[in-house]
Structures are given as structure tokens and as C-alpha cells.
Amino acid sequence: MVAALNAAMKSNKFINACLKLNEEMKKMGVLALQIKVLRQMVDYFDNQVSRLLSRS
């Protein structure tokens, strides 16, 4: 009986930790999207500068 209660408590802690991690990872998705957009902007400006420098 005690072993079953301990197992249930540990399982509950594990599930709660997984839920918390899931919430934290959602923030990482937003950050990844922001980094992707920033990278696209940097690439665009790099291409524009390279194009302008090749003209002169």
C-alpha cells in the first residue's frame, strides 16, 4: 500500500515536471521564430551590401 502511494506521488511529480517543461518549451518556440526572422533580415541586408559593394 505504501509503495503504491509512493509510486503515485512520484508519478504525479513527474507529470507536473513534464507540464512545466512543456510550458517553458513553448517560450523557446517563440524565441526560435524571432531568431529565424532576425536571421532572414541579416541575410537580406548582407545581400544588399554585397550587391552595392560589387557595383563600385
CA-derived radius of gyration, the chain? 24
Is 4 within a domain? no
The Cα–Cα gap between 46 and 27 comes to: 29
> Which H helix or E strand runs over 39?
helix 2-55
For 15-54, write each residue's pLDDT tens digit.
Answer: 999 999 999 998 898 899 999 999 999 999 999 999 999 9
Is 5 within a domain? no
Angle at 46 between CA 40 and CA 52, to 5 degrees: 140
Is 15 within a domain? no
Question: Residue 41: which domain range?
Answer: 25-56
Is 6 within a domain? no
Q: How many folded domains does the chain comprise?
A: 1
Is 9 within a domain? no
Residue identified by cell 505504501 is 2
Is 8 within a domain? no
pLDDT for res 1: 86
